[in-house]
Amino acid sequence: MTFFNNLKLCTRKIYLQINTHNKIYKKLIPLLSVSMILYFSFYCPSTKFTQEGLINSLSHRNPPNWLMPSHPGESIDIELTKNYKRLKLMEFRKKTVVLQLDIKELFEKNKSDNSSRYILRDDLSAVVSTLAEFWAITIVTDQDHNEKIIVGKGSQPINLNDRVLRWQTEIEAAADKYHLEPALIAAVIEQESGGEPESLSSVGAIGLMQLMPSTAELMGVNPYDTIQNIDGGAHYLQLQLESFGDVQIALAAYNAGPGEVENGHWIKIPETIAYVEKVPVLIRKYEQIWQEHSEKSQESQDVRSTL
């Protein structure tokens, strides 16, 4: 009985402290609740799921009929679904670490400005959305149309075996955010890194879009995080397009730097000349791929709507 009385007293003290101090503590209550759920589900040794057991269970689960009406030519691709969930679980853990660091910094430095709250909000949103994707998404094989479909995120067909198109979801998100064509971002990724997220150039350019550390800092992203790398590269591309108004010149600025474009020196750099010749060819390639995917997706939806 004494234990429960002490627990009640401690809870009351915490409530009073939250109630009498900065309003930000009140806003942190939902965050702390989510953090506790995540901790007991994935980190606490006595309560967490085994990783492979959870992935295996979720990968064998059929998508709900309202989300993906059953069709004779469709079946779950168990192995691809497992691989996708492993990738999302790794991504979730990385983002959870970032969120934990944000919370620690918030309390240690007693920050209460809007920018800190916005960063915390965005990072929490990223953690929750990644967890939702890990939990919900299933990859389905449509044998009639020879394609893979991600169920749970727009049901858009993708090719997870392609080194560039396996990042289609992230590419489309960045394209939508910065008002770019997905084909442009995909083409730059292929030219820069061949779709290898661990790529590191001899001059220190990092990741899928080969961001220099100074560029990543300017864009406010971590270049070693794949999603942030794509986001930062897309943002930098957008800035070059806004500055120069032409795709070819913007590509030259992306490759050689805006200073080399402004002084006209880029036309004397063989690497940049080759870059602005190759990337437009890749853009046309990916435009065709996206167009074909769109047509197949629409065709699949029309077929299912008649069933």
Mapping DSSP to helix (H, G, I), strand (E, B) and coil, where does residue 45 land? coil
The CA-based angle 191-197-199, given to 5 degrees, is 70
Q: CB of 172 within 8 A of CB of 230?
A: no
Cα separation values, 21 from 26, 112, 121, 243, Å: 9, 11, 20, 46
Active site residues: 192
Beta-ladder partners of 151: 138
Report the distance separating Cα 220 and Cα 214, nearest Å: 10
d(CA 270, CA 252): 11
The number of helices, as runs of H, and strands, as runs of E, in the chain is 12, 4
Three-point CA angle 65, 66, 68, nearest 5° = 60
**Residue carrying structure tokens 């999302």:** 88
